[in-house]
Amino acid sequence: MDKAKKKIKASGKCSSRPVVANECIEVTDDQIVSEVSVILSALEVPKPPPPPKPLDLFNKAKPLAKAIIPFQPYSYSHQRFDDGYLQPSGSTKEERYPKIYDSAKQLKPKAKRVLSFGCSTGEEIFALAKRFPNAEQFVGVDIDHNRIETARRSNKQKNIYFHDTLGGLGKFDVVTALNVFFCLEKPTPKDQWKKTLEEVANYVAPGGVLMIFKSDHDPAEALNDFKAENTWNHTHNRNNKEYFCGYYRKKRKFW
């Protein structure tokens, strides 16, 4: 099919041959479109370069990247030891470990003060408070301040308190450390593990009970002033690794 042709006046400036003024020449639609495209491309403003991707910004900020601890999907939150070790503070619900809570009641039925070390959002303390209705005070400690604030908002009892440091809290008849002294990725360095466990053990009153669930190392190695009431190993379903667990009673000293 013949293409449509149009008659236009030639100026002589853009023609490939000399033309007479007011002379009409025939051109096709394709030629007109081509000429217009050339003119528009010459007038087109260059597009700005696309913004860098978030990954590029992260890779360029190397000093900042080293200070960031990546989130791991196997745990709801992480706490940090020195040298970048991650300590999982597991998800909690009020009756997550009923057998352990019941054992606390059996081992120290007249406990007056109860401490939950690594209490997360407080559910553990609330469960223990139900088992010790006559206790004078319950304290939950966690280094994650946001979780402590959540626990405080959920608390409805006047004898339950939450802190983000141990500080001068005194002695307790029952101390729990559940899902605290272990790390899924790699074992916590033994010197750091021992130092922390010994510090927590100082808050157990003579005759009091320290209850540990999942530890990278054998607690007996750090608890010289304690007698084991019950010990066992627990295999974690995430990595099939066995962890130390046990109930330890602090010896009474007579001198």
Mean pLDDT along residues 64-92: 37
Asked if residue 15 and residue 125 are part of one domain, the reply reads: no
Burial class (CB in 10 A: 0-12, 13-18, 19+), 231: middle
Q: Write the DSSP assignment of 170-233 as a string of letters.
A: --EEEEEEEEEE--SSSPPPHHHHHHHHHHHHTTEEEEEEEEEEEESS-GGGT-TTEEEEEEEE
Of residues 184, 142, 134, 174, the one with CA closest to residue 161: 142
User: Quick one: 223 and 103 in the same domain?
Assistant: yes
Is residue 66 in some structural domain? no
Residue 220: predicted pLDDT? 96
Residues 197 and 117 in one domain: yes
103 and 225 assigned to the same domain:
yes
Burial class (CB in 10 A: 0-12, 13-18, 19+), 182: buried
Residue 26 lies in a domain: yes
Residue 56 lies in a domain: no
State the pLDDT confidence band at 3, using cuts at 50, 70 and 90.
very low
Residue 210, domain member (yes or no): yes
Q: What is the pLDDT of residue 15?
A: 45
Residue written as tokens 């120290």? 108
Q: Are residues 29 and 125 in the same domain?
A: no
- Regarding whether 114 and 239 lie in a shared domain, the answer is yes
Q: pLDDT for 100-126, tens place per residue?
A: 999 999 999 999 999 999 999 999 999
- Distance from the Cα of residue 195 to its chain's centroid: 24
Q: 202 and 90, same structural domain?
A: yes
Domain count within the chain? 2
Between strands 113-117 and 137-141, the pairing is parallel
Contact indicator for 118, 178 with CB cutoff of 8 Å: yes
Establish if 120 belongs to a structural domain. yes
Total Cβ atoms within 10 A of residue 163: 17
What's the pLDDT score for residue 91? Answer: 58
**Same domain, residue pair 22 and 140:** no
Using 50, 70 and 90 to split pLDDT, how confident is the model at 247? very high
Q: What is the percent of the chain with per-residue pLDDT over 90, rounded to a whole number?
A: 56
Supply the pTM of this predicted model. 0.66
**157 and 232 assigned to the same domain:** yes
Q: Are residues 201 and 244 in the same domain?
A: yes
Inform me whether the pLDDT recorded for 75 exceeds 80: no
* Residue 232 belongs to a domain: yes
Q: Is residue 50 part of a domain?
A: no
Q: Are residues 29 and 146 part of one domain?
A: no
Q: pLDDT, tens digit, for every residue of 14-55? A: 444 554 545 555 656 666 656 656 666 666 666 666 665 544
Based on the fold, state whether residues 37 and 108 are members of the same structural domain: no
The CATH number of whichever domain residue 122 belongs to comes to 3.40.50.150
Domain span holding position 20: 5-43
- Is residue 62 one of the residues assigned to a domain? no
